Amino acid sequence: MGATSGDTRLVARGSHVLAGEYLVLDNERLQRSLFLDGATVEARWVSDKELVCLAPRVVDCRGNRVGVPGGVAVSQTAFGVRLDPHQARPLLAGAEAVLMDWRPFDGTSHWGIRSPSFCYVVPLPDGRILAEETCLAGRPALSQHELASRLHHRLRVHGIEPPGQHDADVERVHIPMLPRPGARHGFGAAGREVNPISGYSVFSSLARADEVADCLANGQPWSSRTSAWRTQALESLLQLSPEAVVDLFDAFGRLSPGSQQAVLDPGTPDGPLLRGLTQQWMLMSGRNRLVGATARGLFQRGRS
């Protein structure tokens, strides 16, 4: 682990303290800890014909690529900068981390017709703070240029002068939220281990790696399909108005810790997941808007 927060908050209509610790990975240390003893690594291009001869089963662990034939991928995008701790204090407002701050970047009280974004503020392994303006999901998602402009505006509203955009101090994110159509045997971000509601995949991938490897070694089947309920929840989210999105995540902040975990963990079985999502929907102030969004989402899925 690279950094932890014992006081993590979510800000929407109000401020909510999230239970438990929030963990931030040290990517370099994690990669060094994962070894490939006994494996043969061949870093080269392989044709489909040759691949069939090399292995009876192939698992795609390359991550979910951006391109989607015949359409625009549902993606999460983000633009972030690294700040010194004293610079980030106005954004943290006494917390150690902010998972989501859904208040408009320009200090106004409502998003109006603008696509909403949130600010993600977390400690980093090097002691600095990452402040990241994030489009949770869009088809298409907000551009890097738009997110950078919003983040700089948000920083100035909080009295923070945006730092220079040196590559070492900037983070750019683009995560396709669903596996590519027709993809087979995907794992990690290319499979069911990614949560299409949040974009998280690392912990779920690490938790399932041994199980999937054992299935492959023993010739047993394993599922790489994303839960239909999660896919539908993502489709419904895309249909919500900007203010309804804020309502939805304010409702998430009021869920029990167990229900929050069920919604965030890609490995949650459908039963507990559906209960968590239902509780979240019922806590919304405008439930009729979500009902309409769900119906439109079901209709769109039926057409695809």
Residues 157-185: pLDDT tens digits? 999 999 877 766 899 999 888 766 655 67
Q: Which stretches of the chain drop beneath a pLDDT of 70?
A: 63-72, 167-168, 179-184, 224-226, 286-304
15 and 144 in a common domain? yes
Contacts of 75 (CB under 8 A, 6+ apart): 66, 137, 138, 139, 140, 141, 174, 175, 176, 177
On whether both 97 and 245 belong to a single domain, the answer is no
**Do 12 and 113 fall within a single domain?**
yes
231, two tokens: 């896919």
Supply the pLDDT for residue 69.
47
The verdict on 110 and 252 lying in the same domain is: no
Same domain, 90 and 140: yes
Contacts of 156 (CB under 8 A, 6+ apart): 162
For residue 97, the number of C-alpha atoms closer than 13 Å in the C-beta half-sphere is 22
Range of 83's domain? 3-25+71-176
Shared-domain flag, residues 280 and 189: yes
- For residues 133 and 201, state if they share a domain: no
pLDDT of residue 58: 81
Q: Is residue 51 part of a domain?
A: no
Side-chain half-sphere CA neighbours of 181 within 13 A: 9
- Residue in the structure block whose two tokens are 């990669």: 31
Q: How far is CA 42 from the centre of its chain?
A: 31
Collect all residues with Cβ–Cβ distance below 8 Å to 252 and sequence separation of at least 6: 10, 260, 263, 280
Q: Are residues 244 and 293 in the same domain?
A: yes
Strand bridging mode 3-5 / 22-24: antiparallel
User: For residue 284, what pLDDT is reported?
Assistant: 87
36 domain residue, yes or no: no
Domain membership of residue 45 (yes or no) is: no
- Is the residue at 151 inside a domain? yes
CB under 8 Å to 4, separation ≥6 — which residues? Answer: 21, 22, 23, 24, 123
> CA 127, CA 82: separation in Å to the nearest integer?
10
Residue 143: the pLDDT is 96
82 and 193 fall within a common domain: no
- The half-sphere exposure of 33 on its side-chain side, counting CA atoms within 13 A, is 8
CA 182, 199, 63, 207 dihedral sign is: negative
> What is the rounded distance in angstroms from the CA atom of residue 230 to the CA atom of residue 195?
7
Indicate if 92 and 150 belong to the same structural domain. yes
| Position 287 in a domain | yes
184: Cβ–Cβ under 8 A, 6 or more apart, which residues? 60, 224
pLDDT of 250 reads 95
Nearest-angstrom CA–CA distance, 272 and 95 = 30
Asked if residue 42 belongs to a domain, the reply is no
Token couple for 271: 């039963």
Boundary residue ending a domain (176, 194, 226): 176
pTM of the predicted protein model: 0.86
Which of residues 153, 176, 199 is at a domain's end?
A: 176
Other Cβ atoms closer than 10 A to 62: 11
| Secondary structure element (H or E) that encloses residue 49, with its range | helix 48-54
Alpha-carbon distances of 128 from 83, 131, 161, 200, rounded to whole Å: 6, 10, 16, 22
Are residues 90 and 189 part of one domain? no
For residues 112 and 126, membership in a common domain is answered with yes
Q: What is the pLDDT of residues 84-137, one digit of tens each?
A: 999 999 999 999 999 999 999 999 999 999 999 999 999 999 999 999 999 999
How many whole angstroms from its chain centre is CA 201? 8
Last residue within a domain, chosen from 158, 176, 194: 176
Per-residue pLDDT at 71: 55
